[in-house]
Amino acid sequence: MYDINKVREDFPILSRTVYGRPLVYFDNAATTQKPRCVVEAMTEEYYNVNANVHRGVHYLSQQATDLHEQARETVRKFINAPSASEVIFTRGTTESANLVVSSFAEAFMSEGDEVIISTVEHHSNIVPWQLQAAKRGIAIRVIPMNDDGSLDMEAYAAMFNERTKIVSVTHVSNVLGSINPVEQIISIAHAHDIPVMIDGAQSTPHFAVDVQALDCDFFTFSGHKIYGPTGIGVLYGKEKWLDRMPPYQGGGEMIESVTFERTVFERLPFKFEAGTPDYVATHGLAKALDYVSALGMDNIAKHEADLTRYAMERMMQIDGMRIFGPQNPDMKDAVISFQLRDIHHLDMGTLLDRLGIAIRTGHHCAQPLMDRLGVAGTARASFALYNTREEIDIMIAGIERVSKMF
C-alpha cells in the first residue's frame, strides 16, 4: 500500500477549507482532483514547448508532437491495447460514445436494427442511440435490472436476434457503484458475432483495465475522472471495426489528401481526430496515468474497497438509511448512493456542504435508472485514492447532524 498522507500532499486542494471547515471531497465520480505533477507538466508545456502538433518541421512542433504521441503510447500500455493506432483521443467519454454510435450506425445499422443497452446507463449511452433511432429508425433494447442493482443476465442472453447489431453497456454504474459482469456480457455477444462497447468512465480510475483480456470491441474513458485534465478522453477500438467506420468529423489532421472532387482519409487513429488536438491535455493525461501506475492500480483498488466497506458499515448504523444498489460492499466500486428517511437529497447535499463535505445530489445523468429505483434523485458519496476513513467519520457525523434537523 501507499502512504496516504504523502499522497494527499500531492493534491493541494485537499488542504483548503470550505466555510471554515476542512474540505472533505466525496464527489470523485463527477471529477477527481489533480496532483501537482499533472498541473505542473501542463504548465511547463505551455510555457516551454507550446506548438501545434504534426506536420511542423520546426523544433517546438516536433517536441510537442513527441509528447502527444508518447501520451498515446502511455494510454495504450495503461489499458493494454494491442496498438497505439487503436487509441483515439477525444474530449471525453461522452464524445467517445457519440463517435462510435454515429459512425457505427452509419456503417452498419439501418431501420429496424437493434442496439442492446442496460437500465443502469449514463445518459451518454442512451441519448446518442435515441438520436440514431430518430434518424435511422433503429430500436433500443434495454437489459432489465434486478432489485439488488445487478443486471438480469438471463433476460440479456435472450435478447439477441438477427437484427441485433451492437451491445453498449457501462462497466460500473455511476449511481449504484455496481460492477457489471462485462466479461460475461462480451462473451455472450461475441457468441452471436456482435461487437460490444464498454463505458469505462467509472472503472478505469479504480481498478486495472485490460482491453485485450476483456476482448471488448470499443472502450471509453475520461481523463478528468482519473486525476487528469478536463476536456480529454479516450476511445479504444479494434482496428477491424474502426477501419470500416466513416470519420466522425471532417477537417484538418484526419485527411491524407483533399481535392474538390474527393478526400482520402488519413490512417488510424488520425482518421477520427479532426482538427488540432488538445496536445497539452494529452500530456497531462499521460502524467496522471503515470501517477496512478506508480501507486499501483491494485493498491488503489484495495484502498478504495476498504473505504467503501467502512462507509457502508457506518452508514447502515444510521436509523432510516437506504443505500441503493448492491448491499455487499465487495460488489460496489467506490460509489454509494443513499437516502435518509424522507430527507430530500438536495437538502442533504446542501447541509453537508455547509459542513465542508462535498457530495453529489440529483439524478446523476441517469434518469431512467432513477425511475426504476422509484426516486427523483439520490445523494451520492464517491471515493478516490486520496480519501481516508477519518473523512468518512466526518461525513457520518454530518449525516447524523442533518438527521436531527428533520
Q: What residues act catalytically?
A: 365
137 Cβ contact partners less than 8 Å away, ≥ 6 residues apart:
110, 111, 112
Q: Residues in the chain, how many?
A: 406
Question: What is d(CA 256, CA 254) in angstroms, rounded to the nearest whole number?
Answer: 7
Contact between residue 34 and residue 43 where contact means Cβ atoms under 8 Å apart: no
Burial tier of 259 (Cβ tally within 10 Å: 0-12, 13-18, 19+): exposed
Contact between residue 185 and residue 169 where contact means Cβ atoms under 8 Å apart: yes
Question: What is d(CA 116, CA 140) in angstroms, rounded to the nearest whole number?
Answer: 6
Helical ranges in 57-126 per DSSP H:
59-79, 93-108
Phi, psi for residue 382 in degrees, rounded to 5:
-135, 140
Question: What is d(CA 126, CA 368) in angstroms, rounded to the nearest whole number?
Answer: 9
Contact between residue 246 and residue 101 where contact means Cβ atoms under 8 Å apart: no
**Sign of the alpha-carbon dihedral angle for 280, 286, 290, 292:** positive
Question: What is d(CA 120, CA 364) in angstroms, rounded to the nearest whole number?
Answer: 11
Q: Omega of the bond prior to 269 within 30 degrees of 0, cis? A: yes
30 Cβ contact partners less than 8 Å away, ≥ 6 residues apart:
360, 382
Phi, psi for residue 96 in degrees, rounded to 5:
-60, -45
* Helix, strand, or coil (residue 99): helix
Question: What is d(CA 307, CA 254) in angstroms, rounded to the nearest whole number?
Answer: 44
Contact between residue 6 and residue 179 where contact means Cβ atoms under 8 Å apart: no
